[in-house]
Amino acid sequence: MRWWKMLGLAGLMGVAATGVVIARAERRRRAYTPEEIRARLRERVDQVDQPEGSRS
């Protein structure tokens, strides 16, 4: 039965590690100002609007 405990503990640690990664990504995402978000979105739209042959 001991290996079941180890497997459960490993699973719990995996869930905790995933939560840490998600929290870090969310913190980075929220660090942008509204102006920065608008600028990034406009850049993406400009890239999509370019003709296929002019993309690098």
Nearest C-alpha neighbor of 47 from the set 12, 39, 2: 39
Write the CB contacts of 32 (distance below 8 Å, at least 6 apart in sequence).
40
Q: Which residues contact 47 (CB under 8 A, 6 or more apart)?
A: 55
Angle at CA of residue 41, ends 28 and 20, nearest 5°: 20
Which pLDDT does position 3 carry in this prediction?
86
pLDDT (tens digit per residue) in 1-47: 688 899 999 999 999 999 999 999 998 888 888 899 999 999 999 99
**Global model pTM greater than 0.95:** no
